[in-house]
Structure 1
Amino acid sequence: MSWKLYRWVWQLKSPLHIGVTPAGVLNRTRLYIPARNIWAALTEELARRSSASFPDYEGAGQQVQEAIRFSYLYPAEQVNGEWRAWLPQYGQNGNEPGLSWRREDSDEFLPDRQFRRCILITRPSTAIDPSADSTAEATLRELECISPWWRRANGQDSAHAVAMVGYVLCQNTQLCKDVLKIDEIFVGGDVRYGLGHLRRYDQPDEAQHLFGNQVDLQSPVPIVQTQRVLAHTLPNSSVSFIGRWTCIGGWDMVKGSMMSAHGAWEPGSSTANMHRFAIQKEGWWQSQ
């Protein structure tokens, strides 16, 4: 069965925290939303809508994994009425050998440090000792979040809204319709405290390309042809990357156990030539 590709836009209605390795007292965040986080949020919503009693999260999660694939979501700003995502890229911007961010359909790019100043905020937080109803010792920290509003470094631009843009690929027609009907989700950490509130901007549009890259929608697993990966990508000895190496893992909510840790290339890592990458159930990419 062939796949259908849709581009969707989720406007950020509250600060968003997608946890990554902390730095001292700062709980850092990723600047994008991995596919697994999107899968988890949509699975939760589907399970609650389809059950009159206790939601079947495991069953709903398995159905979504089998029939649907998600791209990562990236920060976007509205330019001339169109939402344009900012995408990571390593070592391809002249004098910028490290990580930088390039806007879709534009030559504009920002070094990672400058881009972070445009989009990140911090929130102080602490743990409460219930026995004393006061701050627990040594728990004061700062929580790094993606702001719902862009902030230019020079301070001259007026604040404007942040959205998260990505793609969804569907096989099962009815399940696809159910997913595309969802217009509000909560993603990431501290959602019970109001963080990670996303609302879909409009009805998803059917697309032909994934962030400008060709996609094979006729294969059993959707395949992206690109020089720059936009998801965590499992290694392949025949493909050489310029980028950053990291370890991915986590809790498998379907099996109820820890996932095996994997080494992977981070989003934005690039290759010298075009390669084909399959989008796996977990949202990771793998060279073909």
Structure 2
Amino acid sequence: MKWYKLVFKQNQPIHIGSTRWGVINETEVFIPGWTMWGALTNQFLKTNGFDKIDESKKIFEKITNFYPMIGQGKEEPSQLQPLFPQYKGGVFSLGDYTEEEFKFKFVDTLVSTAVEPILRSAKDESLHEFEYILPRSKLDFDNISKQLYWVGLIGFEDEAIKEINSLIKNNNNNQKEVNAKKENEKLDMSDLLKQFFSKIYIGGDSKYGFGEMELIYSINEVTEKELKEWNINESGTASIGDNYRLRQFFKFSNEVKFEGELKLLSEFDFTQNIPRVQDAGYFINVGSKVSDFNGIDLNKYRLIKGKFIEID
């Protein structure tokens, strides 16, 4: 399996569905793997055609969660450090920022309400607040605004690369480009990723000026050490040391001892007219620290859309 590091520059505000408290529709402060998977798959299908949706869905499944990086100046974004999740004093944090501190710098709120057309007054119970992550931080005391980037990993097995090549060859829109290539030419995945995902749209309200992100780096030199930082083996199974913080969600089991919290995660199928729950279950949250797996074989846990799930 070959792993690629993807670095996206955020161009527009984004909203990542999280929880709703009364009138407040909160945003998540990182991008779950299944959300990024949905954006990549959707863009691939729009570019390459919707003939083989089921095959295309499987191509990008081996993907991590994506975490923010803060641009400090003129440094290369690929050299920035991800704000990995952790719990500091029991408080969920990204790097050294607590969730509230991160939101103070990078999250704003849009307040809206419906209006009674005759009275021109606010309609009862229609007020709501919509949180979104800004592409640049709010101005600090030095009148400086910092750019936000997002980083994560994606893995492709040889069969997945062949499937991508096959889907491209079978698409009439790309036939001229394919014919220009030699049949035995090896597919350059870095160039292909940049071609397909130069722009993607992620999260909610993409029709209203939200969600645009730009792929600026596709790096295929991911070291074994770096994979381990993301809890992954080269084969795509879990690699988590004792008391190491989770970068991916881990399917909950009674045998696992950890410090952190549990999350009920639901994955929806939006290909139907009415979205339906496709999968749901309890997972140990990212940032949690596992102290003992009690003999669980981590080689049986495979990365799927930012979650480690036991594979029979």
TM-score after normalising by structure 1: 0.80
How far apart, in 1, do the equivalents of 2:303 and 2:119 lie?
48
Answer yes or no: is 1:69 the counterpart of 2:62: yes
Residue 193 of structure 2 contacts residue 218 of structure 2 at CA under 8 Å; is this kept in 1?
no
- Point out where structure 2 has 5 or more consecutive residues left out of the alignment: 165-187
> What is the letter of the counterpart of residue 100 of structure 1?
S
Matched, 1:173 2:161: yes
Change (3 A) 1:189 1:7: same
Structure-2 residue corresponding to 1:202: 217
Cα separation, partners in 2 of 1:120 and 1:286, compared to 1, 3 Å: same
- Separation of aligned partners in 1, 2:52 and 2:270: 9
Q: Tell me: CA distance 1:198–1:72, structure 2 relative to 1, closer, same or farther (3 Å).
A: same
CA distance in 2 between counterparts of 1:286 and 1:101 reads 24
Structure 1 pair 241/254, CA: closer, same or farther in 2 (3 Å)?
farther
Measured on the aligned residues, the alpha-carbon RMSD in Å equals 3.0
Correspondence 1:280 to 2:300: no
> What SS class does the counterpart of residue 268 from structure 1 fall into?
coil
Q: Tell me what 2:99 maps to.
A: 112
Partner of residue 112, structure 2: 125
Tell me the amino acid that sits aligned with residue 262 of structure 1.
G
Q: What CA deviation, in whole Å up to 9, does each residue of 1:145-201 have, x standing for no partner?
A: 11111247x634610110111111111225383445322100010011111110012
Amino acid of the residue matched to residue 8 of structure 2?
Answer: W
The whole-number CA distance in structure 1 between the counterparts of 2:303 and 2:240 is 14
Matched, 1:145 2:132: yes
8 Å CA contact retained: 1:58, 1:253 = no
2: CA distance between counterparts of 1:59 and 1:128?
A: 43
Displaced runs of 4 or more, over 6 A: 128-135
Asked if residue 234 in structure 1 is aligned to residue 251 in structure 2, the reply is: yes
Structure 2: distance between partners of 1:232 and 1:131 = 50
Instruction: Pick the aligned partner of 1:224 from 228, 239, 245.
Output: 239
- Over the matched positions of the two proteins, sequence identity in percent amounts to 21
Q: Distance in 2 between matches of 1:131 and 1:260?
A: 45
Q: Residue type of the partner of 2:161?
A: T
The one-letter code matched in structure 2 to 1:90 is: Y
The number of residue pairs the alignment matches comes to 268
**Corresponding residue for 1:42?**
40
CA distance in 2, matches of 1:251, 1:268: 24
Determine helix, strand or coil for the equivalent of 2:57: helix
Residue 4 of structure 1 deviates from its aligned partner by 1.0
Shift of 1:269: 0.9
C-alpha distance 112-283 of structure 1, shift in aligned 2 (>3 A) = closer
Other-structure match for 2:179: none
21, 24, 27: which one aligns with 2:22: 24
Q: Provide Cα deviations, 1:68-114, integer angstroms capped at 9, x if missing partner.
A: 411111111135432221111024xxxx2322221xxxxxx133322
Bigger mean CA offset, 159-168 vs 110-119: 110-119
Candidates 262, 268, 272, aligned match of 2:287: 268
Letter in 2 for 1:37: T
Where structure 1 has 5 or more consecutive residues not aligned to the other structure, the ranges are 103-108
Tell me which of 85, 90, 94 is aligned to 2:87. 90
> 3-state DSSP class of the match of 1:259?
strand
Whether 1:193 and 2:212 are equivalent positions in the alignment is no
Question: Which range moved further: 191-200 or 275-284?
Answer: 275-284
Instruction: Return the alpha-carbon distance in structure 1 between the equivalents of residues 41 and 26 of structure 2.
Output: 25
Instruction: Pick the structure with more helix per residue.
Output: 2
The alignment partner of 1:139 has SS state of coil
CA contact (8 A) 1:47 1:60 kept: no
In structure 2, relative to structure 1, the CA distance for the partners of 1:49 and 1:100 (3 Å cut) is: closer
1:244 maps to what in 2?
Answer: 261
Higher strand share: 1
Q: What is the distance in 1 between the residues matched to 2:121 and 2:151?
A: 41
